Amino acid sequence: AQTVTQSQPEMSVQEAETVTLSCTYDTSESDYYLFWYKQPPSRQMILVIRQEAYKQQNATENRFSVNFQKAAKSFSLKISDSQLGDAAMYFCAYRSSGWGQGAQKLVFGQGTRLTINP
């Protein structure tokens, strides 16, 4: 079974600075998808960014980018120019490729709580 590990329970950063959240995963599959979701205090789960394992290019969405290292099974999230609205829990998630039973489910890490200091 796949597992996702986020080793940083909490992180903090000064407003306008850059912060990187870490995520590692364990899988024997060669094709899969990785996601970062944000959960603000409203508890709504919001998709931040996604990465297809077959793509070598790292995904980017505005101030958010990932560093995907397939061989190391690492998938970190970089937030540039941090804003107060970025304060939230961030979850890394894994999804298998394919259609077998359970393939579509998301496997989540334990989350990292990000605080933005003004």
Partner 1 sequence: DAGVIQSPRHEVTEMGQEVTLRCKPISGHNSLFWYRQTMMRGLELLIYFNNNVPIDDSGMPEDRFSAKMPNASFSTLKIQPSEPRDSAVYFCASSWASLADTQYFGPGTRLTVL
Selected from 41, 43, 72, 118, the binder of partner 1 by CB under 8 A is 43
Does residue 98 bind partner 1 (CB under 8 A)?
A: yes
| Closest of 14, 1, 21 to residue 102, by C-alpha | 1
Element (H, E) at 18: none
Cβ-based nearer residue to partner 1, 13 or 106:
106
The residues near 30 (Cβ < 8 Å, ≥ 6 apart) are 53
Does residue 11 bind partner 1 (CB under 8 A)?
A: no
Cβ-based nearer residue to partner 1, 10 or 15:
10
Does residue 52 bind partner 1 (CB under 8 A)?
A: yes
Cβ-based nearer residue to partner 1, 46 or 84:
46
Positions 58 through 87 that interact with partner 1 (CB under 8 A): none
Does residue 33 bind partner 1 (CB under 8 A)?
A: yes
> Which three-class secondary structure state does DSSP give residue 64?
strand
Amino acid at site 99: W
- Residue 20, both tokens: 């990187």
Does residue 28 bind partner 1 (CB under 8 A)?
A: no
The phi-psi region of residue 79 (left if phi > 0; otherwise alpha if psi is between -120 and 50; otherwise beta) is beta
Contact window for partner 1 (CB under 8 A) among 11-19, 21-29, 73-81, 97-105 = 97-105
